Amino acid sequence: MRLSQLGISSEFVRSVSDTYTAQAMIMTDKDNNQITAFHPGAMMQAHKTKIEKRADIQLGIISPDGRDAMLEHAEQFKHADIPFVFDPGQGLPMFDGKELMHFIHLSTWVTVNDYEGKMLCDRTGLSSAELSRHVKGLIVTLGANGCEVWVDGQKTLVPPVKAREVVDPTGCGDAWRGALLFGLEKGWSLDKCAALGNEVGARKIAQRGPQNYQVSDLHIG
């Protein structure tokens, strides 16, 4: 319903009538300590949806999902010649260094936040500079400090946009990735995608809730 109101196709959304949707309850205190309770529910069946080559699909993203779905969808994207972003997020701890390197070799870009970036380097034994040589680019988002874009071993710091107000950080990472996919689809450089990501992330943090921000008045050059 919400997707159709936003003009987004739900063609590939699988409906599982006898299982709950995945749910997370996250309690955060004022020092940013978090306790999370997660029920995967229908997410554990995500691998039943297969990715096939289609002329109208030019780009994909592998974000946290069921373990099998992440592994299989990455293979299917590669097989279908669809470039994709590897965005392991909170799913990262499910994979060892060898599996993470395999994802990186299949993918075209990698995005992580600061914490995930450190874990990715620890598990693969490679630095951000080294990892970036296996893909077209690695981006590490840095919260209020913007993000770093690594291409071919070289780092560019893309500065943050000052938020009008800091209300709720939940969903900043997803907001940033929405801008990334928008820019990649238009063929923009990673730096330009990242700059838009920082704009959208700053918009998001000024609103309560992960999807209640507006981008309709953003100037997109």
Ligand X SMILES: Nc1ncnc2c1ncn2[C@@H]1O[C@H](COP(=O)(O)OP(=O)(O)OP(=O)(O)O)[C@@H](O)[C@H]1O
> Mapping DSSP to helix (H, G, I), strand (E, B) and coil, where does residue 23 land?
strand
Q: Is 201 a binder of ligand X (CB under 6 A)?
A: yes
Least distance to Mg ion, CB of residue 109, Å: 15
Closest CA to 105 of 127, 129, 136, 59: 136
As given in the structure block, the two tokens for residue 7 are 């003009």
Output the six-digit token pair for 42.
């229908």
Residue 98 Cβ, how far from Mg ion at the closest point, in Å?
A: 23
Q: Does 202 bind ligand X (CB under 6 A)?
A: yes
Distance, in Å, from the CA atom of 193 to the CA atom of 179, rounded to the nearest integer, reads 6
| Distance from C-alpha of 46 to C-alpha of 159, rounded to nearest angstrom | 36
Residue closer to Mg ion by CB (options 83, 89) is: 89
Q: Does 201 interact with Mg ion (rule: CB under 5 A)?
A: no
Closer CB to Mg ion, residue 89 or residue 97? 89
At closest approach, how far in Å is the CB of 180 from ligand X?
10
The Cα diameter of the chain in Å comes to 49
Q: Which of residues 143-172 bind ligand X (CB under 6 A)?
A: 143-144, 146-147, 160-161, 163, 166, 169-172
Which one-letter amino acid corresponds to residue 206? Answer: A
Answer for which of 60, 146, 171, 173 binds Mg ion (CB under 5 A) is: 173
The CA distance from 114 to 121, in Å, is 11
Residue matched to tokens 């709950």: 20
Answer yes or no whether residue 113 interacts with ligand X by CB under 6 A: yes
**Separation CA 153–CA 150 (nearest Å):** 6
Is 193 one of the binding residues for ligand X (CB under 6 A)? no
Q: Which does residue 97 bind out of ligand X, Mg ion, none, counting CB within 5 to 8 angstroms by kind?
A: none
Residue numbers of the site for ligand X (CB under 6 A)?
A: 113, 141-144, 146-147, 160-161, 163, 166, 169-174, 176, 197-198, 201-202, 205
